[in-house]
Amino acid sequence: MRFVVVQFVVVRFVVVRFVVRFVVTEWCRDSGTVRAVTALLATAAAVALDRSNSDIANQVCLLVVVLAAAGLAAAIPHRWLLAGSIPVTALVVAHLVYAAGVVVPGDATHPAGYGGALTLFVLLVVTLPVAGVSAAIRRNLNGQSGSRGTEG
């Protein structure tokens, strides 16, 4: 059974990777657009991975959420707080939809209920610092300082 779950996660990863590569090579030529589209696809992949109750899938989902936050923050470094919260908010909204019964995943969602879905905002503790560091690295690579308009 564990092999089937691992195989399922690997197949999803390969499909998402193929889609990301296709979008990057065919649709997006601007590097900022490429990073933003890739990070948004990673957010969608996190929501898709979150539907499994496997421990491995949950850990991969957390990794994808953190990488999506870092990618979005690198794409829009001046809005890193927003970028760090988009993947987490997507997971919370997905769990709220599951709790409302609009879309029922194959397995029971954890944490259950509306309150459980809102507790997923604790992931901001992880994603916001990662997004801040990613934005700072991006600004430094571009040669921009962190302060705006302070030069005399």
pLDDT tens digit sequence for 105-118 = 666 566 677 888 88
pTM: 0.67
Mean pLDDT of the chain: 75
Is residue 152 in a domain? no
The number of folded domains in the chain is: 1
Q: How far apart are CA 137 and CA 55, in angstroms?
A: 32
| pLDDT for the residue 79 | 87
Domain range for 43: 2-142
Alpha helices (H) along 101-146: 113-118, 124-142
Angle (nearest 5°) at CA 150 between 146 and 152: 140
Is residue 150 in a domain? no
Q: What is the mean pLDDT of residues 32-52?
A: 75
Is residue 147 in a domain? no
Q: What is the mean pLDDT of residues 56-78?
A: 85
Angle (nearest 5°) at CA 129 between 20 and 75: 35
Query: Which residues make Cβ contacts (< 8 Å) with residue 108, sequence separation at least 6?
Result: 53
Q: Phi/psi at 105 (nearest 5 deg)?
A: -70, 165
Q: Has residue 151 got a pLDDT over 60?
A: no
Q: What is the mean pLDDT of residues 69-97?
A: 87
